[in-house]
Amino acid sequence: MRRTFPLGLAFIGGIVLVVEIGAPYALRLFGPAYAANGTTALRLLILVGPAYVIKDHYVSIRRAQHRMTHAARIMAIGTAVEVAGSAAGGALWGLNGICLGWVIGASGEALFLLSPVLHVFRRNPAVDSDAGNESD
């Protein structure tokens, strides 16, 4: 957790930056119309990356704590929020609205999950006082 959380956020930060800049160039491989119509959607979709780093760590933490039933309930609610956001965005603004609604829903979910993730991240690891005295 102490390595994967900051590394995950750093990697996704770099990926977001690359995709935000390179989206039209990457999509041009599929044709100019694809790039013209898909660049905004791709730029919106990549913004969900940091939220998924937080969500994945939350699930991993709850799994290690043997609290998967609780995590499954929270994830089900979060998934419903993401779907509702996508549906509302799509009804209001089409393809880009679907993307924006999903990003907003997933980001809201991640903000909710950030507190328990940070609680574990900041906690001092348990120290085994007999670890240095073990003999084979």
Residue 34 falls within a domain, yes or no?
A: yes
Residue 42 falls within a domain, yes or no?
A: yes
Residue 69 falls within a domain, yes or no?
A: yes
Pick the range with the lowest mean pLDDT from 36-45, 60-69, 119-128: 119-128
Residue 81 falls within a domain, yes or no?
A: yes
Residue 128 falls within a domain, yes or no?
A: no
Residue 133 falls within a domain, yes or no?
A: no
pLDDT digits (tens, 9 = 90+) for 74-107: 999 999 999 999 999 999 999 999 999 999 999 9
Nearest residue to 2 (alpha-carbon basis) of 115, 120, 131, 111: 120
Query: Which tokens sit at 14?
Result: 């770099």
Residue 131 falls within a domain, yes or no?
A: no
Dihedral sign of CA atoms 105, 108, 112, 113 in order: positive
Residue 134 falls within a domain, yes or no?
A: no
Does the predicted TM-score (pTM) go above 0.75? yes
In the chain, the number of structural domains is 1
Give the end-to-end CA distance of the chain in Å, rounded to a whole number: 29
Domain extent, residue 59, equals 4-123
| Phi, psi dihedrals of residue 135, rounded to the nearest 5° | -125, 150
